[in-house]
Amino acid sequence: MTQNAGKDSGAQTGEAMDLGAMTGSLGFLLRLSQLKSFDTFFHEMKGLEIRPGEISVLMLLDRNPGIRQGVLARALMIKRAHMTKMVHAMEGAGLVCRTVPDADRRSVQLWLTDAGRARLETVQGPFLAFENRNTSGLSDADEAMLKTLLRRYLGLDRPNA
């Protein structure tokens, strides 16, 4: 529980930082990595006016037409309250449409509109290109291993819970 230089009022003002136990914390490393990844995303996708959340909704709706709003929220690990706002915004932008199934009139099913599919077309190319540049010094093998380990951490390797 003690410090760095030990000097009196010394205190380094330079850039050198001792991260201490933080470099061994998985949560800390994940947070920093995610921030770095998002920084890269915004830098590379600048000009497309797209956000990570919107891209993932477009891609998931393309693959899972008619999915219920709450299921989508769980898949993206965001709260239903927030998903409501995102979906309403995207509906307002004409990208998705919402239908209430007769089988369960509480729920809402989501579908991409033609404009939504067009938007996905526009955005998916740059996004996949970005993904390739997002490795930041990792070798191809490292990157593959990192993704495998993250999927394992998330329980995405054993298909369904």
* The token pair that represents 34 in the structure block: 């995610």
Q: Is 81 in the site for a copy of itself (CB under 8 A)?
A: no
DSSP 8-state symbol, 103? T
- Please tell me whether residue 106 binds DNA under the rule CB under 7 A: yes
Give the three-class secondary structure for 68: strand
- Tell me if residue 138 falls in helix, strand or coil: coil
Euclidean distance between CA atoms 123 and 129, whole angstroms: 10
Q: Which of residues 34-73 bind DNA (CB under 7 A)?
A: 35, 42, 51, 53, 68-71, 73
Binding status of residue 145 toward a copy of itself by CB under 8 A:
yes
CB of residue 61 to a copy of itself, shortest distance in Å: 9
| 86 vs 112 by CB, closer to DNA | 86
Could you tell me how many residues of this chain bind DNA (CB under 7 A)? 28
What sections of 10-79 are H helices per DSSP? 26-44, 52-63, 69-76
Q: Using CB under 7 A, which of 61, 87, 95, 120 touches DNA?
A: 87
Coil, strand, or helix at residue 98?
strand
The minimum distance between CB 148 and DNA, in angstroms, equals: 25
- The secondary structure element, H or E, covering residue 115 is helix 114-133
How many residues belong to the site for a copy of itself (CB under 8 A)? Answer: 83
Interface residue with DNA, options 86, 90, 112, 123 (CB under 7 A): 86
Query: Is residue 122 at the binding interface for a copy of itself, with CB under 8 A as the rule?
Result: no
Answer for which of 104, 121, 142, 157 binds DNA (CB under 7 A) is 104
Q: Contacts by 100-108 with C-beta closer than 8 Å and gap 24+?
A: 107/68, 107/69, 107/70, 108/68, 108/69
Footprint of DNA (CB under 7 A) = 35, 42, 51, 53, 68-71, 73, 77-88, 98, 103-108
